[in-house]
Chain A
């Protein structure tokens, strides 16, 4: 157990729908990162939050959004889902807003049908 908790572990939904993925960072970690792992794009950075504020954005689609709450958990919202959004979504956390001490969660596998 890495200490980073992601829920749900699996999610199956239809095209056009909206889902929310949740991540609870390790105790004491202030920074949360979201990554997407897909067969065609590999592992890609989506977005980073530090202590509630957005710090960096990567290849995140406009249909996707995220936030980090005062208790430091984070949610990734995916809307108007397409088949191509099917992927494994990872959350990672770290104490500082730098990725050298990333700890990854076990991921949420999203299947869009």
Chain B
């Protein structure tokens, strides 16, 4: 079964600094991978997804992620953090054709 591990339940960066949220997956087949963001008291919003096209995926709000098969990773980055990026971020992988399997989430805090 596919699984996702997000390294670091909490990440804190300064405004303007690089954001790096780590995600590693395990999958017996080529996966589809996703990053979602959840703002306080809101639902899940898709940031970006990898569906076996380009390995560098650009998403909304300046985020991007790179699929690295050799490292089974799909880390999320943003060059310059903004206060509005404070939220919880979830990495997910498709399991079969039926569902998404989510990581435990990483809470991103931005320091002024």
- A residues lining the B interface (CB < 8 Å): 2, 33, 35, 42-45, 48, 55-56, 58, 90, 92, 97-100, 102-107
Contact = CB atoms under 8 A, between A and B. Distances in A.
A58 B99 contact: yes
Contacts of B97: 97-99
Given A2-B43, A90-B44, A107-B43, A102 B100 contact: yes
A107 B40 CA distance: 12
Interface in B49-107: 49, 51, 90, 92, 94, 96-105
User: Which secondary structure dominates where chain B touches chain A?
Assistant: strand
Interface of B: 32, 36, 42-46, 49, 51, 90, 92, 94, 96-105
Contact of B45 (A44, A45, A56, A104): A104
A41 B36 CA distance: 17
